[in-house]
Amino acid sequence: MKELIRTNDAVVLSFAESLMRDAGIICFIADQGMSILDGSLGLLPRRLMVQGERADEARGILSDAGLAAELRDP
């Protein structure tokens, strides 16, 4: 799995996850349970993880959708 996005913004993560699901790319949001520890204050970022072999494709989809600024360096 490759990390593509690390953010505290739940809307960005939800949108990105939806794009991956629509494209048939397996993904998951890592560190979701950590929000329990920070009291849901959004202090700890969550990460969008995708299949390693489809990371480049996923990166392109996210860029095309306007999320290029959210992407982590390859």
What is the rounded average pLDDT for all residues in the chain?
A: 90
Per DSSP, the residues of 22-63 read: HHT--EEEETTTHHHHTTTSS-S-EEEEE-GGGHHHHHHHHH
The mean pLDDT value for 42-57 works out to 90
**Domains along the chain?**
2-70 (3.30.70.790)
The mean pLDDT value for 44-72 works out to 95
User: Would you state the pLDDT for residue 74?
Assistant: 79
pTM for this structure?
0.85
